[in-house]
Structure 1
């Protein structure tokens, strides 16, 4: 019982703002529709507000537009069929079939399809069209969506970039801390700790997803604020960085799996590996600070990016020394993932130099000509967590 109470209290602390936000927005939408416009049945205004606020931040503006389109389409179909046949069972069947069929033909999203069907069904079952019903319903949807968007912006009214800054710092910190956990398990040759780190690595995608959601939410907020739109370019840079960070997170997950295999061999971990992992973790932290300073407009962003660049290359140089002792396969795999992570990290901090050439030079590989465009953003690749990994980038 105590555990349940603690869990419930944690959920309340985490989500109380969303509860208050949804309650206030739905109530305000109802008041506007019922008292200001005078709609005798303003059910859809608070419903639309709740539907929009139930969507992830960054998708609420699109959600509002889809609700409006769905309401309009549902009302149109229901109006035509009810006027022709009256409110009967056959009418319900035809209205739902025609509405859903129309949405499928148009390639509508699930949200739009559901809203169209609910609006059409409401008109048939609850309130048959009486001329003035269609504009009232559409206006209700508009009120609910507008109130929901306004409510969602109040939380970030003072500094719309603050949630993104906090999420960016936390994401890079989580990845660096994960590397520290893997490194500590390898130093102690502790298989249980290595497995725990691998389990954490399998959950690390959540932090990248949260950063991606924060990017979308901030972009939506800036689109609604004319004076803040100058920051949209910075948000797009963070979005590009997030893609590279996603690749880096996958590489670290493969590194963690190789670490488990290495600890199972019960061999002493070379000290060079610990140094390389430390440098890579420092590079991640410096890259995170570079992103934060870039968002806040600080001049330290360039200095932090240079530190991340230097630390990533140093990690590769140190890891290259391990080849001299004919390392076992799991250690070779770890070296490969250090290299791959360094590549993605260098691309994330926006270095203009040829990334592959610099990393391979640090690793001691023979220099080879790079085809034009080969050093640009990498093509989407399969999740290394489910496929064998190689030394290739």
Structure 2
């Protein structure tokens, strides 16, 4: 029950936005346009805002246009052919076709179809050809877009919400790799590899959140004070992408090492655990970019231990593991804002060895 209350608390602003927008849209359509029952003004506001919150500008507008278009097309067609199952097929198909002809994207087309269904099934037209309900939908969409613009999602919180599961999974994958190597367990190493492969959707959501945050800052003056923080998050996209890729290569190296039964020095396993710690620290840095020294220390420790491990054995599997640990350490240093050359130089610095 406590978790459900927390979910409601986190979404309190969204709930308030949708409720107020529905009421305002109804009021505007009723009082300014004189429409007695502006049902679709409220519906359009709810549909638009529920999908537009957190979306970039073009996509939010597509939702609003899709609602109005679906209602307008359905109104015209239902007056001619009436309502029923086959009529629903025709109306939805025509609404989607018109949306596509107008160059609409997936959101616009789908929203036109949903809105057309509402007209056919809930409130078919009875008063002849009129633009009233289409205008209601336009008003509802406009009110929703205005609400989305003046009370936008906090850009940093939005990105941080998507960053947290990404770094958590990346760190957990590294721990799984270390555990598999420590136990010489090929099946566990393979599972770690599969876990690493499953990170891509989290990475995609993080990128999408950064784009939304960037647009929020561009169009919402109150959020522009977050510009510098969002820039840090944006610049971390490529290094984190590279870290995920290198972790997968590391996992493949672990699979090969366990399959061949090759000895992996304890220092190499410690290095991977340090790398997992560095991933956790970089989340703290990107959440509050004040001091990245903890991430830097953990990444450099991982690189140093990996290099020492290579001095214990020259087998190919360990060479691959060491190379990937060092490459991932470079990625994490770049995530702190270091240039690529500076990050590689830090890894090559005295005490860090000569591989980079």
Q: TM-score, normalised by structure 2?
A: 0.73
1:364 matched to 2:351? no
- Matched-pair contact (CA < 8 Å) for 1:194–1:259: yes
Partner of 2:184: 189
- Matched-pair contact (CA < 8 Å) for 2:21–2:143: yes
Partner of 1:346: 333
Equivalent residue in structure 1 for 2:47, among 22, 47, 51: 51
Q: Distance in 1 between matches of 2:280 and 2:14?
A: 36
Equivalent residue in structure 2 for 1:208, among 203, 217, 221: 203
Partner of 1:103: 99
The number of residue pairs the alignment matches comes to: 342
Q: Distance in 2 between matches of 1:107 and 1:61?
A: 17
Q: Deviations over 1:39-89 (max 9, x none)?
A: 33433334334434543853165443113333455567678x66xx96237
Deviation of the 1:248 alpha carbon: 0.8
- Matched-pair contact (CA < 8 Å) for 1:52–1:64: yes
1:126 matched to 2:124? yes
Q: Deviations over 1:356-386 (max 9, x none)?
A: 85357856359xxxxxxxxxxxxxxxxxxxx
1:31 matched to 2:26? no
1:178 matched to 2:201? no
Q: Distance in 2 between matches of 1:165 and 1:192?
A: 33
Aligned pairs for 1:83-98 (under 5 A) are 87-88=80-81
Structure 1 residues 176 and 42, CA gap change in structure 2 (3 angstroms): same
Partner of 1:141: 141
Which range is displaced more, 356-365 or 276-285?
356-365
Q: Deviations over 1:315-349 (max 9, x none)?
A: 33443344445544432332232233123223222
Structure 1 residues 347 and 323, CA gap change in structure 2 (3 angstroms): same
RMSD: 4.2
Q: Secondary structure at the match of 1:236?
A: helix
- Matched-pair contact (CA < 8 Å) for 1:29–1:45: no
Equivalent residue in structure 1 for 2:257, among 246, 250, 262: 262
Q: Distance in 2 between matches of 1:201 and 1:10?
A: 32
- Matched-pair contact (CA < 8 Å) for 1:58–1:216: no
Q: Distance in 1 between matches of 2:137 and 2:317?
A: 63
Partner of 1:374: none
- Matched-pair contact (CA < 8 Å) for 1:277–1:315: yes
Q: Distance in 1 between matches of 2:36 and 2:213?
A: 37
Q: Secondary structure at the match of 1:135?
A: helix
Deviation of the 1:253 alpha carbon: 2.6
Q: Deviations over 1:183-212 (max 9, x none)?
A: 233233344544554454344345534544
Equivalent residue in structure 1 for 2:321, among 312, 330, 334: 334
Q: Secondary structure at the match of 1:350?
A: coil
Structure 1 residues 265 and 49, CA gap change in structure 2 (3 angstroms): farther
Structure 1 residues 320 and 117, CA gap change in structure 2 (3 angstroms): same
Q: Distance in 1 between matches of 2:5 and 2:204?
A: 22
Q: Secondary structure at the match of 1:354?
A: helix
Q: Distance in 2 between matches of 1:285 and 1:23?
A: 33
Q: Distance in 2 between matches of 1:230 and 1:199?
A: 40
- Matched-pair contact (CA < 8 Å) for 1:168–1:211: yes
Partner of 1:382: none
Q: TM-score, normalised by structure 1?
A: 0.67
- Matched-pair contact (CA < 8 Å) for 1:71–1:115: yes
1:237 matched to 2:232? yes
Q: Distance in 2 between matches of 1:317 and 1:147?
A: 52
Q: Secondary structure at the match of 1:126?
A: coil
Q: Distance in 2 between matches of 1:190 and 1:197?
A: 11
